[in-house]
Each structure stands twice: as structure tokens, then as C-alpha cells.
């Protein structure tokens, strides 16, 4: 959830001030947005999607998976900058710079996973997905625990909403990766 206090700064200023991770914040189009910690359900759903992806990426040597709050710098066509921090991101091995950045990534992830917070409207979800796609992400999954749906946004502009009986596909970003939505949205107390 965003708090009321906002200020404007460049990505470099933002990184210098917030890269230590002590304050939860994102930079969206030059505007700093301070955020509260996530809820317990947000954390559970983040892991239910992130862990299978990370295991698949590691098992197949495909690249790197980045956990929640990893910063990515985005340069917009109009000159504005953003430094969003997705709930999970994947970068293909052939795109990983050498040496690794000491601060935020300066390349877009191939796959972005965001978990919808109760305070986010559908409009905000679509805007954030569009921000990632504009930056160069190839696939964005927006997981909605309240509707038990996942919205899939693709670089080619197509969108799809999956429901409980559907299966997420890694498509050409993570070939052969599949994750049934029933596995994501199973009751929290189940094994």
C-alpha cells in the first residue's frame, strides 16, 4: 500500500537513497512511492509462484530468478525514469551482464510476477503491466489472490485471464514450464 508522502527524483538519486533496502519504496516515472510491508497472504502467494519458477530455472540452467523487492531501472521514451521492484523476476542467462550490477539491474526482466494487493485497482494492475512491457519485459503475470485469477500480459500486446482450472505456461520465455493455478490458490492450511 502506498503512503501519502511522495517526492520526485532520478533513478540514480533513488538508487543512492534506497538501495540499502531499509525503506520499502519504488520509483515510478520519477516519483518515489513509499510502501508498507506486504501482508501475510501476499508473501504466501509470492512464494507459491516464485519457488516453482526458481527451481525450474535452476534445474535447467536458464538464468537467474530474483526475489521480491529487487530493483530494476527503466528509462521511459519521454525521459522519465522508474525503478520498480517486482514480487519476482526472471532474466535469461544470455542477457545477464558480466560483471553483475552492484546496484539495481539496468536491463528489464524477461518474466515479471506481481501479486495484486487488495488496495490495487484493475487499472493500476494494467498500468504496472504496461510499464514492464514498455521496458522490454516479454511476459508479465499478475496474480490476483482475491479473484483466484492470473492475468497474463505479453510483449506482443495480447492479454489473457486464467482461472482456477487453468495452467500458467512459461511460453517461449520459460519453455516447458507449467504451473496449475490450483497449486497457487490451494487453501493456505493444506500441505
pLDDT above 80: residue 150: yes
- The pLDDT confidence band at residue 4, using thresholds 50, 70 and 90, is very low
Which domains are seen in the chain, by residue range?
A: 39-69+84-184 (3.90.1570.10)
pLDDT at 139 over 90: yes
- Look at residue 34 in the predicted model and tell me its pLDDT: 76
- Separation between Cα atoms, residue 187 and residue 150, nearest integer Å: 17
Is pLDDT above 50 for 1? no
- Whether 125 shows a pLDDT value over 60: the answer reads yes
Query: How does DSSP classify residue 83?
Result: B
Q: State the pLDDT at residue 25.
A: 75
Residues near 24 by beta carbon (within 8 Å), at least 6 away in sequence: 34, 35, 36, 37, 69
Provide the pLDDT confidence category of residue 151 given band limits of 50, 70 and 90. very high
Task: Say yes or no to pLDDT of 3 above 50.
Answer: no
- Residue 45, SS3 per DSSP: helix
pLDDT digit string, tens, across residues 45-98: 999 999 999 999 999 999 999 998 899 999 888 888 888 999 999 999 999 999
Highest-pLDDT range among 22-31, 35-44, 55-64: 55-64
Kindly report the average pLDDT of the chain as a whole number.
89
Evaluate if residue 126 carries a pLDDT over 70. yes
Contact 34, 3 (CB under 8 A): yes
Amino acid at each position: 500500500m502506498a503512503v501519502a508522502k511522495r517526492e520526485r527524483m532520478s533513478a540514480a538519486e533513488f538508487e543512492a537513497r534506497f538501495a540499502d533496502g531499509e525503506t520499502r519504496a519504488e520509483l515510478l516515472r520519477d516519483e518515489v512511492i513509499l510502501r508498507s510491508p506486504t501482508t501475510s497472504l501476499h508473501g504466501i502467494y509470492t512464494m507459491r509462484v516464485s519457488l516453482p519458477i526458481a527451481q525450474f530455472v535452476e534445474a535447467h540452467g536458464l538464468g537467474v530468478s530474483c526475489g521480491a523487492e529487487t530493483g530494476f531501472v527503466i528509462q521511459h521514451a519521454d525521459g522519465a525514469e522508474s525503478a520498480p521492484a517486482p514480487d519476482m523476476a526472471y532474466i535469461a542467462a544470455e542477457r545477464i551482464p558480466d560483471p553483475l550490477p552492484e546496484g539495481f539491474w539496468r536491463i528489464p526482466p524477461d518474466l515479471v510476477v506481481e501479486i495484486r494487493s487488495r488496495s490495487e485497482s484493475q487499472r493500476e494492475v494494467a498500468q504496472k503491466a504496461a510499464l514492464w512491457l514498455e521496458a522490454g519485459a516479454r511476459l508479465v503475470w499478475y496474480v490476483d489472490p482475491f479473484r483466484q485469477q492470473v492475468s497474463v500480459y505479453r510483449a506482443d500486446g495480447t492479454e489473457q485471464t486464467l482461472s482456477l482450472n487453468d495452467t500458467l505456461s512459461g511460453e517461449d520465455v520459460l519453455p516447458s514450464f507449467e504451473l496449475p493455478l490450483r497449486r497457487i490458490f490451494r487453501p493456505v492450511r493444506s500441505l
